[in-house]
Amino acid sequence: MSDVDVAVELFRNGCACSQAVLGAYGPRYGLDEGQAMRVAAGFGGGMRMAETCGAVTGAFMVLGLAHCAGSCKTMQERKGACEAVTSFAEEFRQQHGSLVCRELLGCDISTPEGARLAEERHLFQTTCVELVRSAATLLEGMLAKI
């Protein structure tokens, strides 16, 4: 099973979108599944505010792991991660029109009304699955070039 498939399965089995992406790719960089789940827990659903898509923030975390060695405390040490995040964001935005959860879903899941609408429209089982798959596929391509 590919890491893209692992991310999708993690999401389908109850993980938040952010957890699914970091959980699938984190082990490549020494992060065990439990650590990945804890780190990414608050980023799903656009950080619980329907802001930046959790699949995107999960991918950003992986790009940090992939591009930073050592302490990664200086701008020079973060440069590769920052460039990768910018590139990922541009490509994801080009593919989907936005990075923002409420724009991607067409409703604000941080509100009771929006969450109910997302449930009624089965967005978590359809749109969100595809966004997790898309983020993981884009991430996979970027990681293959490192």
Q: Give the C-alpha separation, 108 to 79, whole Å.
A: 33
What is residue 143's predicted lDDT score, i.e. its pLDDT? 98
Number of domains in the chain: 1
pLDDT in tens, 36-58: 999 999 999 999 999 999 999 99
Instruction: Please count the other Cβ atoms lying within 10 Å of the Cβ belonging to residue 10.
Output: 23
Instruction: Identify the CA nearest to 131 among candidates 107, 103, 94, 104.
Output: 104
Burial class (CB in 10 A: 0-12, 13-18, 19+), 127: middle
0.85 exceeded by pTM: yes
∠ CA 98-103-107, rounded to 5°: 165
State the average pLDDT for the chain.
97
Q: Could you list the residue range(s) of the whole structural domain that residue 9 is in?
A: 3-144
The answer to whether 55 and 21 are in contact (CB under 8 A) is: yes
What is residue 7's predicted lDDT score, i.e. its pLDDT? 98
Instruction: Please count the other Cβ atoms lying within 10 Å of the Cβ belonging to residue 38.
Output: 12
Predicted confidence band of residue 69 (pLDDT cuts 50, 70, 90) = confident
